[in-house]
Structure 1
């Protein structure tokens, strides 16, 4: 097959399927912006998103940006057509609008789009925290943001969502087009290792069996429950003074907003709870290489994962694949994967005392949770391995 893969941050979620296609003899051309990391051996056509002309009513910034992205990608596709390249299928992340005009350049091409999240003004992420209910301005912005999603749902031949819960957020009239298929995690690489060693920035070496509490997010922010972990830490350290908490993540904003009275959420939370912490037992690593991230999970005694009702992080699945004891917030889509007392432990997102108690139990009685760790690994291997994700994606691409 000839395949075009559209993703602003190519390859993004499509890394595994793109590699599989290329290794299988299919011709793959990626399209992404100038900051996209790319993938070795895969042709990538780049565009500069900073030069796109975007204007209009403030509520229409997302649709207007989508039109601009769609237009520049349409020109790229037209050039490919002129060069004699006609795709059999286009795989797209339509969230930035890149797939908007695919059918206008190639009317007969099969278009498969990834639908991660459909926005709601209540009942999901917005208004999840008490006192953060959406006002008219935010509701209007979300409604207009969904214009792009609705157009993408109408245009695609098939859609895919990583979890059943994420699929359920989309309008009922379009759900029949959306299959559930997670892109998969590398369970061969992300596996338990009793000989793993993780070296902290100060030279301390952590090993399996050490009282290590881990937390991972792309950026440290409320959407991923960073503030709840920080507010639980004084009690965690009181209950188990020897615990070493290692927090991985940057100081930017992936979701939500930056704090008003501090440079970032880390500084804000440290100012709030830092005086009650033994800072020698708290390590912020920033963003780290994947090999260090893997060894950290392999030495973890308790891995904390919190999230608003929002897109599920790869990190939770990779932690389970590494045989971590995952302490997860009882929020969708966590509950779709994590079953309390079977393959992990769940707690109320807002209950920092419950989180501290679970961490204490995990560190005090690690043997009691060995079966949960094993089941977590088995469940990810059975349901979320790369091979399963690739098979589902290939069926969608081929229209099987």
Structure 2
């Protein structure tokens, strides 16, 4: 085995490749894509690191470069981009990726098994990768590190302050789903890496799972081999492109580089410039807003932003004073900063929210002073570098005042330029970033924050009685495929259909059989005996919080250890003791890793207040509501779906060799993803939302007849 760390970075959305990044192509291909590529390369160059895999989405779409359809792209001796298929072939914006992320998680798990090495850490970037990361890291029992890049609750606040309507925000950005994923990730992560102290102290504080003890501030780095001041004199090639737009191209210019999205607030900048004769006389305005070919074919959000900007140029008659080139290459960006600095201009970032602001340190590294929104990263960049001014991005007069001050004094401009160069070297190098990163990982190892889940088979032990001196060989070692079924209302309910299913299983010795149920073990055995079902090869009981292997019902103690992480059952019971509409089920339904309630929906029509209450108490648990009347509280790592994937990983089953059957909400996690799945005809209404998901067959037959129908449907 290679010595050194194996680090898996997950960054799912956008267009990611090793060089020639299409920055600004759309709302999803911005600073995050550059950050993760640079992080992968720099980590892999460190002597303590053996391998870095940057995992993203495979995109075999003719409308984008074929680079994004390569499963593996080498970006260094010990670094590569790994692309995994999920969802349709076409390129998708991040807001519509959510239904496909369970498949992405399963594909990542499959890739890691094929790679033959367990990662030492999984590091997720943004909420979508956090959703995947907390699942895969939980299945494997390795530490999860997470970087948010931007946060849903902060974005919602800013959009509301700007006047956007809540329904319109939700329809476009799906922030409810995103925030829920962020809460789950914050609950699961061993370490949150933030770019600034403001991000930790103000932005993450908005979350129920806020825990500053698990957060570290590690500012991003800048590649000073690309971003540096221009030699004097220098002939910079992009100058000719700007001359197409500007009557007086030699004047200083106000330079804005961003994606054409509402959050970047470029229209406010154009309103300020268009209404200010002094600024128009003193400087040109250069807007580099990604790449475009045909605006009419762009997505709605960037199309709307660009159309608004062009109308403002026309309203204020700014022709000859504003440049807005259609295209630029990523390798031309450093020259744009250098050209702005050579002409003694300024760089401006008027974004409504800015978690860090990578463009600000790039500009500073090229000797260009900066003006920026007083939000997030710019506050600390200006404090460290002392190379510009902050302003309130919602206040047009504040933007105007900052621009006026920037052009008042040549000596001030030179002081800001010199300070920026020194500040970047002192605070924002990739070398210091990686050293701080590895120190943070060392602290995780010292704390032993996560129990390690071994994929090797351990000696089996039984918690309730000694094992017999000889064990019947567990069929899981030799089976080719496995049927896993819920019991109530799925496996049982029709005796004749059940008998046909059992006969089929008996005739196919290569097919194993397991159950996954909300019942505890004793009740499971009782109902199986009552219906004449032999002890299955595997039993997942108590809504996924317990696993037993037949025929001797040997408990999987590693699974119990794995899901015990931060499980506080008494605090859960105390927290929910006085919630109207919740009543604890009888003691026989309670387990060490499952707390079960009956729900009176006439008193408690929604469990959302329960979820919020549990989060506010920082409880690491998973509520599962089913049949519109039962609420089970499990450890955060436990569910039928998680237990199923743990089982597949431990025993080496490809998920496509598993057929799972269910009928209610507590089956949802095991039905989604890369398993073959069937929802029986008598299912609960809460599963209707899965009807269009891939790999989920909705049977017409009820109970076991629906399972038989699915076996035939899949050729299983």
> Shorter-chain-normalised TM-score: which range?
0.7 to 0.9
Secondary structure in 2 matching 1:100: helix
Among candidates 112, 116, 119, match of residue 145 of structure 2: 112
Which of residues 15, 31, 44 in structure 2 aligns to 1:22? 44
- For 1:76 and 1:358, the matched residues in 2 are separated by 47
Q: CA deviation at 1:308?
A: 0.9
Q: 1:212·1:246 contact (CA, 8 Å) conserved in 2?
A: yes
1:69 corresponds to 2:101 = yes
Which residue in the other structure is 1:392 paired with? 436
Give 3-state SS (helix, strand or coil) of 1:87's partner. coil
Answering whether residue 196 of structure 2 is matched by residue 163 of structure 1, we say yes
For structure 2, the 5+ residue unaligned runs are 18-32, 60-66, 445-716
1:103 aligns with 2:137: yes
In structure 1, the residue matched to 2:495 is none
Which residue of the partner structure matches residue 204 of structure 1?
243
**Partners in 2 of 1:357 and 1:348 — Cα distance?**
11
Cα offset for 1:374? 1.6
1:134 Cα deviation (Å)?
3.4
Match of 2:375 in 1: 331
Match of 2:257 among 216, 219, 228: 216
Spell out the pairing of 1:1-400 with structure 2 (5 A cutoff): 1-8=5-12, 9=14, 12=33, 13-23=35-45, 24=47, 26-35=50-59, 40-41=75-76, 42-51=79-88, 66=98, 68-93=100-125, 95-96=127-128, 97-107=131-141, 109-120=142-153, 124-129=157-162, 131-132=163-164, 134=166, 138=170, 142-168=175-201, 169-170=203-204, 171=207, 173-195=210-232, 196-198=234-236, 199-200=238-239, 202=241, 204=243, 210-217=251-258, 219-236=259-276, 238-241=278-281, 243-250=283-290, 258=300, 263-300=303-340, 301-339=345-383, 342-363=386-407, 365-399=409-443
Separation in structure 2 between the aligned mates of residue 88 and residue 338 of structure 1, nearest angstrom: 35
Is the CA contact (8 Å cut-off) linking 2:7 and 2:53 kept in structure 1? yes
On the 8 A contact 1:216/1:249 being kept in 2, the answer is yes
Tell me the TM-score normalised to structure 1 length. 0.81
Compute the displacement of 1:19 (Å): 1.4
Partner of 2:320, secondary structure, is helix
SS in 2 for 1:250: coil
Describe the shift of the 1:190–1:166 C-alpha distance in structure 2 as closer, same or farther (beyond 3 A). Answer: same
Whole-Å separation in 2 of the counterparts to 1:72 and 1:319? 36
Alignment CA distance shift 1:363-1:312 (3 Å): same
Compute the TM-score of the two structures, normalised by the length of structure 2.
Answer: 0.48
Q: Structure 1's 197 and 266: CA in aligned 2 closer, same or farther, altered over 3 A?
A: farther
Cα distance in structure 1, aligned partners of 2:280 and 2:81: 50
Q: Deviations over 1:177-232 (max 9, x none)?
A: 12111221123432222534432454739999841221110x22331120111112
1:102-146 deviations in whole A, cap 9, x for unaligned? Answer: 134422x222221233332788423231x3363698499534422
- Residues 214, 246 of structure 1: 8 Å contact kept: yes
CA distance in 2, matches of 1:86, 1:125: 40
Cα offsets for 1:363-396 (capped at 9, x unmatched): 4533332112222222222112211211122223
Q: How many correspondences in the alignment?
A: 383
Check conservation: 1:32, 1:45, Cα contact below 8 A.
yes
Whole-angstrom distance in 1 between the partners of 2:249 and 2:383: 24
* Cα distance in structure 2, aligned partners of 1:158 and 1:372: 35
SS at match of 2:371: strand
Q: Is the 8 A contact 1:114 1:159 kept in 2?
A: yes
In 2, Cα distance between the equivalents of 1:45 and 1:332?
31
Identify if the C-alpha distance between structure 1 residues 225 and 209 changes in structure 2 by more than 3 Å, giving closer, same or farther. same
> Helix, strand or coil for the counterpart of 1:147?
helix
Note closer, same or farther for the CA distance 1:105–1:378 as it changes in structure 2 (3 Å cut): same
Greater RCO structure (CA 8 Å; 6+ sep): 1
Q: Secondary structure, in 3 states, of the residue corresponding to 1:346?
A: strand
8 Å CA contact 1:208, 1:299 repeated in 2: no
Deviations 1:249-277 (A, max 9, x none): 13789xxx946xx9431222321342423
CA RMSD between the two structures: 3.6
Distance 1:66 1:197, change over 3 A: same
Query: Contact conserved, 1:242 with 1:281, CA < 8 A, in 2?
Result: no
- Residue aligning to 1:55: none
* Structure 1 unaligned spans of 5+: 53-60
Larger Rg: 2
